[in-house]
Chain A
Amino acid sequence: MPPKAAKKANRKTADAGIDIALVKAISHPDRLLALHELNKRVASPTDLAQVLGVEVNYIAYHVRVLEKYGCIELVDTKPRRGATEHFYRATKRAHFRDEEWLNVPASLREPWIITALEVMGQDISNSLAQGDFEAHPDRHCSHTPGLVDKQGWGEVQDLLTETLERYFDIQAGSNERLVEGEGEAIPMAVSMVGFATAPSKD
Chain B
Amino acid sequence: MAYHVRELEKFGCIELIGTKPRRGATEHFYRATKRAFFVGEDWVRIPRSLRESLIGNHLAIAGRYISEALEEGTFEARPDRHHSWTRMLVDEQGWTDSMAVLLEALDKLLEIQGDSSARLEKEDEPAIPLVISLMGFEAPSSQVAAGG
Residues of A within 8 A of B (CB): 36-37, 39-41, 43, 47, 50-51, 53, 95, 98, 101-102, 109-110, 113-114, 116-117, 119-121, 123-124, 126-130, 132-157, 159-161, 163-164, 166-167, 170-171, 173-175, 177-178, 182-199, 201-202
**Which residue of chain B has the shortest Cβ distance to A157 in the bound complex?**
B80
Verify B138–A201 contact, CB threshold 8 A: no
* Complex contacts, B113 vs chain A, CB 8 Å: 144, 146-148, 152
Q: Is the CB of A192 within 8 A of B112?
A: no
Contact between A193 and B128 (Cβ–Cβ < 8 Å)?
A: no
> What is the size, in residues, of chain B's interface with A at 8 Å between Cβ atoms?
86
Q: Does B12 contact A (CB under 8 A)?
A: no
B142 touches A53 (CB 8 A): yes
The answer for the CA separation of A186 and B99 in the assembled complex, in Å, is 13
A40 touches B136 (CB 8 A): no
Cα distance A136–B66 when bound, in Å? 26
The verdict on B131 contacting chain A, using a C-beta distance below 8 Å, is: yes
In the complex, A187 Cα to B141 Cα: how many Å?
8
Any A CB within 8 A of the CB of B55? yes
Residues of chain A within 8 A (CB-CB) of B91 are 174, 177-178, 182-186
Report the Cα distance A154→B128, complex, angstroms: 11
